[in-house]
Homo-oligomer: A and B are copies of this chain.
Amino acid sequence: MTDERASPLTPETRHVSFVGGASGSWRVVDTRTIVGEPIAHAARLHVSADRVLRVPDDAQWLLRGVTSYGRYTTRAEKRELTARQPPIGRVEATCAALIPVRKNAAWWALSQDERRAIFEESSRHIAIGMRFLPAIARRLHHSRDIWDDEPFDFLTWFEFAPSELGAFDALLAELRATQEWTYVDREIELRVVRVGG
């Protein structure tokens, strides 16, 4: 079965490898360091449902993550998210972004109730993301605690139509102004556009 869309990600794909290098279906238009150590600029991004075990010869970097169960969402929030969130791979969603984020030791030393309070009651992380649905599709990959030592804790993948670029900028600005983001000690923003292949 041939799928003309560029994304190999289906709802069943759990482990994903993001490879920054010379090839891939997404052309990198901007590699921005928001906080912390930069990563090398790559010309293309390859999003793979295979487990890439090492950085390919023609690539600059490799980041891996896995989708998992929700760590903060309540039943009511989950129901609303499920009802509103669009799938990955919409034909019109030719713009995308990969945002790798690492949180500091103080965040990971918090208890579950403290993290939830900062995440949602203070920072409104779920509520902010909800306002941009269904325009901006989002897929969260956990990168912390997987067997290989990954440099980030989360790899979030966003997809949207070019007409939503302003909305996406606003979404990022709102999240970065939250109390939650004071715990982020490394963040990269990788903007890409679909080129096929």
Is A50's CB within 8 Å of the partner chain B?
no
Copy tally for this chain in the complex stands at: 2
Q: Which of A81-116 contact B (CB under 8 A)?
A: 108-114, 116
A73 to B112, CA, bound (A): 6
Classify the interface of chain A: helix, strand, loop or mixed: loop
CA distance A78 to B148 in the complex (A): 28
Query: Do A74 and B148 touch (CB < 8 A)?
Result: no
A54 adjacent to chain B (CB < 8 Å): no
Contact segment of A26-34, A61-69, A155-163: A61-69
Contacts of A113 in B (CB 8 A): 74-75
Per-position 1/0 for A136-173, Cβ under 8 A of B = 00000010111110000000000000000000000000
**In the complex, chain B residues whose CB is within 8 Å of the CB of A69:** 108-110
A72 within 8 A of B: yes
A131 at the interface (CB under 8 A from B): no
Which residues of A line the B interface, CB within 8 A? 15, 51, 64, 66, 68-75, 77-78, 108-114, 116, 142, 144-148
Q: Is the CB of B70 within 8 A of A112?
A: yes
| Cβ-defined contact, A111 with B74, below 8 A | yes
* Complex CA distance for A112 and B114, rounded to whole angstroms: 14
Q: Tell me if B64 and A147 are in contact (CB < 8 A).
A: yes
Q: Which of B75, B109, B146 contacts A147 (CB under 8 A)?
A: B146
